[in-house]
Amino acid sequence: MAYNSLEACLLDLEANGQLIRIREEVDPYLEMAAIHLRVHEAGGPALLFENVKGSKFRAASNIFGTLQRSKFIFRDTLFIVQRLIELKNDPVKGIKNPIKNFSAGLAALKALPLKNPITQPVLFQQIQIEDIPQIQHWPMDGGAFVTLPQVYTEDIEQPGIMNANLGMYRIQLSGNEYELNKEIGLHYQLHRGIGVHQSKANKKGLPLKVSVFAGGPPAHSVAAVMPLPEGINEMSFAGVLGGRRFRYTYHDGFCISTDADFIITGEVYPGENKPEGPFGDHLGYYSLKHSFPLMKVHKVFAKKNAIWPFTVVGRPPQEDTSFGQLIHELTGTAVQAEIPGLKEVHAVDAAGVHPLLLAIGSERYTPYAPAKQPAEILTIANHILGTGQLSLAKFLFITADDNNLLSTDNIQLYFQYILQRLHLDRDIHFYTNTTIDTLDYSGTSLNTGSKVVIAAYGRIIRTLATEVPACLKELQYFDNAVLVMPGVIALQTKSFSSYEMAAKEMEILNHQLQNKTGELQTAPLLVVCDDTIFTSAQLRNFLWVTFTRCNPSHDMYGIDSTTINKHWGCKGPLVFDARIKPHHAPAVITDVATDKKIDKLFNKGGSLYHILP
């Protein structure tokens, strides 16, 4: 269905039993986010908040809360987008099947943005930043944030919508040192198109004009998060996905989406930054206060009966998980087409997406050789780490499966496949002093840390332990050994204090186990953590603890390790120190009082009664 507004989409969801209206007054300070989190965790419907305390505007969340709902919203265009991406990857398909692909060709006409002289809806009323619902999501957040923005910028050297960038970069509306209604914070990370635009404007000593759109057809929000290849414009993609051309015009020199519910226009001047954050983010921790670009507000507009869209991010899975799943549905094998030999790549949501990638490649370099060992998959690994946002990966596990039976979707079986074949002295490859995700605080400083590629391929060399080896139950200083999954054991010790002390602690562990490497062949991975019961309770706990709290170069050890010709390896198990470090950001935790306060909505007579099982 070609929605012309956010409200049209919400009404459609409501008519199909996928939206609930919340009639009661709800406080944007923590309460709205807490309600969203509880409903999303239950797999519940989209929410329309009709009575937001302190604002005349309604707000909506959980719109994309499940993959099924996202597919329902784009039910008329999903197949066409998939077909167009296929044709881009393999244009010969279009030539071979012109009738089959005719509809895709017609849909491509929606890709051309439409300059729209009708501006009255979105410019209906000029408002102030403080009029927008001031939603604070987590107790330690620095203020109110925009979590579903569409941030539009143009290339100062090649102006115009066809060379523009539309991205979803969080916006801080209030708090910290921002002058209310006049200044807001613009947070963007590595590998973002807006950075190129700001760099060009800075070189010319000119301000970068920025337009922030909120609401409008749901395809616009998806386009803002879509990792599009070079040469494909987000506004063009929004037109095809939404089945309706992206409508825009200019006002006071700023581009505006004439279908948006809200518009914030402003300028970013060279060298003008202010502290932004903290903000409870999608890794499940706060991203802390750092200096980011300052946007000086020009004007703020809202359409009549505008609806403010928002989401809540935190420890995955959250609503942004569904965004990732939808992107995977849309792109299919696009990444594989870009990287020769790659069969699958999976950014693991439970580990915060960027910290952990699982990949399956091909091994075709030496089919004549009797011994099977990593070769082509190492080339593929380097290509992955040089590709777009995949380059932010911190841990990359990669293998090849000659029988095409392995899948990265079954994470536990994937790890078992790797660990059965892992040569601890050969298959571990570090990249030190490099870039990592801005939101990942396991590194040495902002954006800085290390990476590791663990590439295992060949015959099975070990059977994996299905119970804790006896020698791990008799350790001194390390206790509460628990089996996480076959071959993976969690150990507990005292809290991390410093890397100097950690080195001594790991040497104590090494001293106790270096003569027992034979007994430990079945347990190639040991995870040292703060709480083995929590870490082993669920697969998602293991993934979150292990891969968000480790910096490979600093937190990976090995029993009886050696460095030969600058290649590090070990004879006994790998050891990951996944304890919380003093420099890590705190984990996001909901406010107990707020959780209790919103119970009334879920009790008999409340708008959300019957929502929870």
Please tell me the predicted confidence (pLDDT) of residue 342.
94
CA dihedral (603, 608, 609, 610) in degrees, to 10, reads -140
Report all structural domains of the chain as residue ranges with CATH numbers, in order of start: 6-309 (2.30.110.10), 333-455 (3.40.1670.10), 470-577 (3.40.1670)
Please tell me the predicted confidence (pLDDT) of residue 333.
66
DSSP calls for 349-374: GGGTSTTEEEEEE---S-TT-SS--S
Distance CA 105, CA 128 (A): 43
Residue % of the chain over a pLDDT of 70: 95
Confidence tier at 94 by pLDDT (50, 70, 90)? very low
Q: Quote the mean pLDDT of the chain.
A: 92
Please tell me the predicted confidence (pLDDT) of residue 323.
86
DSSP 3-state helix, strand, coil percentages of the chain (rounded to 5)?
30, 25, 45
Please tell me the predicted confidence (pLDDT) of residue 85.
72
| Bigger pLDDT: 491 vs 331 | 491
Contacts of 114 (CB under 8 A, 6+ apart): 245, 246, 247, 248
pTM over 0.85: yes
Distance CA 301, CA 311 (A): 21
Confidence tier at 105 by pLDDT (50, 70, 90)? low
Please tell me the predicted confidence (pLDDT) of residue 88.
58
Q: What pLDDT digit, counting tens, does each position of 529-551 carry? A: 999 999 999 999 999 999 999 99
Please tell me the predicted confidence (pLDDT) of residue 602.
95
Confidence tier at 528 by pLDDT (50, 70, 90)? very high
Distance CA 487, CA 421 (A): 12
Please tell me the predicted confidence (pLDDT) of residue 190.
52
CA 237 to chain centre: 20
How many other C-beta atoms are found inside a 10 Å radius of the C-beta of residue 434?
16
Q: Is 85 exposed, middle or buried (0-12, 13-18, 19+ CB in 10 A)?
A: buried
State both tokens at 551.
Answer: 């910096």
Q: What pLDDT digit, counting tens, does each position of 167-206 carry? A: 999 999 999 999 999 999 999 865 567 888 998 999 999 9
State both tokens at 13.
Answer: 């969801």
**Total H helices, total E strands in the chain:** 20, 30
Q: Which residues pair with 73 in a beta bridge?
A: none
State both tokens at 141.
Answer: 């957040």
Rounded average pLDDT over 406-418 = 97
Q: Which residues pair with 137 in a beta bridge?
A: none
Q: What pLDDT digit, counting tens, does each position of 308-326 carry? A: 999 999 999 999 999 888 8
**436 within 8 A of 449, measured Cβ to Cβ:** yes
Which alpha helices (H) appear in 243-384, and where do they start and end?
319-331, 334-338, 376-384
Residue % of the chain over a pLDDT of 90: 80
Q: What pLDDT digit, counting tens, does each position of 327-352 carry? A: 888 876 667 778 999 999 999 999 99
Q: What pLDDT digit, counting tens, does each position of 6-61 carry? A: 999 999 999 999 999 999 999 999 999 999 999 999 999 999 999 999 999 999 99
- The residue to which tokens 């009549």 are assigned: 304
Rounded average pLDDT over 470-488 = 96
State both tokens at 470.
Answer: 């006896």
Angle between helices 319-331 and 218-225 (to 10 degrees): 80
Please tell me the predicted confidence (pLDDT) of residue 99.
40
435-460 as b/e: b if 16+ CB within 10 A: bbbbbbbbbeebbebbbbbbbbbbee
Distance CA 527, CA 521 (A): 15
- The residue to which tokens 């419907």 are assigned: 45
Please tell me the predicted confidence (pLDDT) of residue 93.
46
Angle at 296 between CA 291 and CA 299, to 5 degrees: 145
Q: What pLDDT digit, counting tens, does each position of 109-164 carry? A: 788 999 988 778 889 999 999 999 999 999 999 999 999 999 999 999 999 999 99
| N-terminal to C-terminal alpha carbon distance within the chain | 31
Confidence tier at 102 by pLDDT (50, 70, 90)? very low
Please tell me the predicted confidence (pLDDT) of residue 230.
63
Q: Which of 148, 4, 133 is nearest to 63 (CA)?
A: 148
For residue 91, pLDDT over 50 is answered with no
470 Rama sector, left if φ>0, alpha if ψ -120 to 50, beta otherwise: alpha
- Torsional sign, CA 310, 315, 319, 320: positive
Distance CA 314, CA 138 (A): 9
The helix/strand/coil state of 68 is: helix
306-326 as b/e: b if 16+ CB within 10 A: bbbbbbbbbbbbbbbbbbbbb
- The residue to which tokens 């969340």 are assigned: 61
For residue 307, pLDDT over 60 is answered with yes
- The residue to which tokens 């969203």 are assigned: 36
Please tell me the predicted confidence (pLDDT) of residue 76.
92
For residue 96, pLDDT over 50 is answered with no
CA 225 to chain centre: 10
Q: What pLDDT digit, counting tens, does each position of 373-392 carry? A: 999 999 999 999 998 888 98
Q: What pLDDT digit, counting tens, does each position of 60-74 carry? A: 999 999 999 999 999
**354 within 8 A of 437, measured Cβ to Cβ:** yes
Long-range interactions of 178-184: CB distance < 8 A, separation 24+: 178/143, 178/274, 178/294, 180/129, 180/130, 181/128, 181/129, 181/130, 181/297, 182/296, 182/297, 183/274, 183/294, 183/295, 183/296, 183/297, 184/129, 184/264, 184/266, 184/294, 184/295, 184/297
CA 521 to chain centre: 35
Please tell me the predicted confidence (pLDDT) of residue 233.
87
